[in-house]
Amino acid sequence: MLPLFTGLSLLLAACSDSEQGCRPDPAADAPAVKVNLQRLERPFFRLQSQQQALLFMNQHPVFARYYLQRQPGNEAALASALAEMATNKDLNKLKRETDAAFPDSAALAQDLGDMFRRVQHYFPDFRVPPAYTYISGLLGKDIYVSDTLLVMSLDWFAGPKASYRPDLPQYMLRRYTPAHLLPTLTQSVSSKYNRHELTANTMLDAMIHSGKALYFSSRMLPCTPDSLLLGFTTKEIIGVEANEGKIWGHFLEKNLLYSTTPFLVQKYVGERPNVPEIDRTCPGRVGQWVGLQIVRKYMEEHPKVTLPQLLAEKNAQRILTESHYRPKRN
């Protein structure tokens, strides 16, 4: 297989619509959704004592229960730990850097509202949960979302200028920037609707499940390029698009689609810096990207299928077969 990047002419020829503009947005006229966003890091960093930390938890009981994991019997220890964090000089420095990365609360609330109104357009039963930002010291979850609570730990997404960053390899760390916050959130939201057979454990099942989640994100964020949705660099997106037929041919020639070996599935769908089995320049999680292409082709072939119907479809083989996905090899 030729290297994925073979020169400027290839780069220009391979640029995709997804990297150059907005996708069609059937939910463009969906009613506005107001998001009441609370920046909990602000009162948190005013805490000076265990007693104040207890009051903070009492004022935000759902946040304390589900995000901070407050339970009967651990309140005192948790309050003491929170007070210690709030007065920590290094964490206060990270807070200031995170504030600089996310300076505009109104803009963030507006972006959340635009995303959530699209979710409600497709899923009228969806209710926007109370939304909070927080700084966890990179200890809590990056994003927590449920029917009753949304917490975005912004220090995870503060970006490369922050003094402290998540303890992750660089190929994963690059997905933790302000621009990746909403794409990460939308994939978390998709899990509420993205159905998957618990006993379906083939490579194809994993690819299609990921592809449906990414397709959901592309609908919720129609102007977000594929590079941000997937956490690929623009060069990687250009490379996989230019070599789509070769990548698909690799899956077919190696009989990978129906493999149930967890290690093998991980090599193509899970976290990895690259996939040298295809090419040294092929990015990790390329199976997720292929899954997205199959799902997009399926939806093109079936324009009457709604987004909820797509996410409810558990049969990955049916999606593949009815997509007529056959990219040409160069």
Of 44, 119, 122, 26, the closest CA to residue 84 belongs to: 44
Per residue in 239-270, pLDDT (tens digit) is 999 999 999 999 999 999 999 999 999 999 99
Structural contact between residues 243 and 279, judged by C-beta atoms closer than 8 angstroms: yes
The pLDDT value recorded for residue 126 is 95
pTM exceeding the 0.85 threshold for the entire prediction: yes
Burial of 32 (0-12, 13-18, 19+ CB in 10 A): exposed
Q: Are 327 and 293 in contact (CB under 8 A)?
A: yes
**Spans of all domains in the chain:** 37-168, 194-323
> Do residues 185 and 217 lie in contact, with contact meaning Cβ atoms separated by under 8 Å?
no
pLDDT, tens only, 74-103: 999 999 999 999 999 999 999 999 999 999
Sheet containing strand 37-39, edge to edge, reads 37-39, 131-134, 150-153, 143-145
Q: How many CB atoms lie within 10 A of CB 72?
A: 5
Q: Please provide the DSSP assignment of 62-78 as one string.
A: HHHHHTS---TT-HHHH
Q: Which tokens belong to 281?
A: 């320049």
